């Protein structure tokens, strides 16, 4: 349980203060993880999983190769170092 010290008195956070602190913690953790990514990893992003699955689904329905073409283009533009 989180709390704060006010003039030597420990006061527990309210539910709203706990929720706000949780949000800050999540944002910080997300930023830390994003900072760990190399430029290569950021460049080799293939889009959201939902977008990738949508491309695969449409390829199966239409008999196209949009997803494979997209992955190949990203790999060609950003080869492994």
On whether the CB atoms of residues 58 and 66 are closer than 8 A, the answer is yes
Tell the residue number behind the tokens 């309210």, with chain if given: 14
With 0.75 as the threshold, say if the pTM is over it.
no
**7-50 pLDDT, tens per residue?**
888 888 888 888 888 888 877 777 777 777 778 888 899 999 99
In the chain, where the domains are located:
1-36, 38-81
Residues counted in the chain:
81
DSSP string, 3-68: EEEETTEEEEPPHHHHHHHHHHHHHHHHHHHHHHS-HHHHHT----HHHHHHHHHHHHHHT--HHH
- On whether the CB atoms of residues 19 and 27 are closer than 8 A, the answer is no
């Amino acid at each position: 349980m989180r709390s704060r010290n006010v003039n030597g008195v420990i006061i527990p956070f309210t539910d709203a203060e706990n929720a706000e602190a949780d949000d800050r913690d999540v944002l910080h953790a997300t930023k830390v993880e994003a900072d760990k990514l190399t430029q290569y990893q950021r460049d080799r992003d293939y889009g959201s999983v939902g977008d990738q699955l949508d491309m695969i689904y449409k390829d199966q329905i239409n008999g196209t190769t949009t997803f494979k073409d997209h992955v190949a283009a990203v790999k060609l533009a950003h080869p492994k170092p």
